[in-house]
Structure formats: structure tokens, C-alpha cells
Amino acid sequence: MQITINNKQYEANVGDRLLDIARVNHEHIGYFCGGNALCQTCYVRVLEGGELLSPLNEEEKALLSDNLVSEGTRMACQTTVEKPGTIRIVSVVEEVKQMFEHEPLQLAGYAGKMGWESLVKLPDTLGLQSKRELDLFEVLADVISAIGGAFELIGRACTSWCCCITGNCGCDAKKG
């Protein structure tokens, strides 16, 4: 089946986590904590196909405000594909990037809104995190894996750039 993330189509299977689909395809969805519902950087907005995804779990209920849920916000690290069909999502990171490029004056209001939505859920968030029993080694392994993926992307970008500068790729970057 196909899933659209930030206006790009990718292959997905029932049972896949949204975060894993994005990571495999190098699509920008935050995942600093490695997918352990700690950092809250993996927010996505479901534009289509919400009924094909797993229901909100305990972590999402504790971390996402009712307003964010009503807008279709999910945590990519906690959400899996449950049924085949058309799914379209956009990452909050991509939304902010688009806002910065096209409507930068909206950024202050957006930041205020997201800050308020986090504050509303602070008691639930603290309650959830205080009850959790995390395997420190597993969390560290997940974080290191996420950092490794980021370094891989940086390495590819640098390699591509170096080829352009030396003229080995055939583009006109060296001219000028």
C-alpha cells in the first residue's frame, strides 16, 4: 500500500509504525528519543486515512491535548498502520518549515498555541512519565540509532556536495 508523508509517496505495510516508514525513507519526522514517546518531536497531522491507523494509546492520550487530537495530530512513534488504504500525513516539522518559508508571521502564534497545548497536558504528561519503567539501555540504543541515521543523511549530503564542487557529478556547481 502507499502512504503519503510530506507530499511524497512511500510503500507501507499493515503493522508498520509511521515513524519507521518515515525513517526508512529519510522523511523528516522528529525522533530524538528513538521512538519511546519521551521527546514529543514526532507529531504528525493526519490529513486522510485516520480510520486506518491504530487508536490513540495511553501515551498519546497523556501527551496530546483534545484540540491537537481533534486537528488530527498523532505521535508517529506510537501510531501504526492497521488497515490498507490511503493515508496522508504531514509532520509538524514540515508544517513549521512551510510556515517559515511562506507565512513567517504565523510562527509566533503557532509557537504560542503549541506551548499552550503542552501546558494543558502537563499534569497528564508528568503522571505518565513518573509511572514509566524504561530500560535505560534500550532508550540509549534507540537514541544512538536515531543519531546514526542522522549522520548517514549528513554523510550522503556531504558526498553529493563534494561531487558537485569537484565537478564529478556533471552539474554546473563548480562553474562560477
**128 and 117 within one domain:** yes
Cβ–Cβ under 8 Å, residues 35 and 161: no
**145 and 89 within one domain:** no
Q: What is the pLDDT of residue 160?
A: 59
**72 and 32 within one domain:** yes
**89 and 60 within one domain:** yes
**21 and 102 within one domain:** yes
CATH code at position 52: 3.10.20.30
Q: What is the pLDDT of residue 70?
A: 97
**176 and 127 within one domain:** no
Q: What is the pLDDT of residue 123?
A: 86
**152 and 103 within one domain:** no
**125 and 74 within one domain:** yes
**90 and 17 within one domain:** yes
Report the domain count for the chain: 2
Q: What is the pLDDT of residue 152?
A: 66
**7 and 88 within one domain:** yes
Tell me the β-bridge partners of 141: none
**145 and 122 within one domain:** no
Q: One digit per residue, pLDDT tens: the chain, 176 residues?
A: 999 999 999 999 999 999 999 989 988 887 777 777 877 889 999 999 999 999 999 999 999 999 999 999 999 999 999 999 999 999 999 999 999 999 999 999 999 999 899 888 888 888 887 787 766 676 666 666 666 665 665 666 666 555 555 566 655 555 44
**150 and 69 within one domain:** no
Rounded Cα distance, 79 and 17, in Å: 6
Cβ–Cβ under 8 Å, residues 28 and 6: yes
Print the domain residue range for 142.
137-176
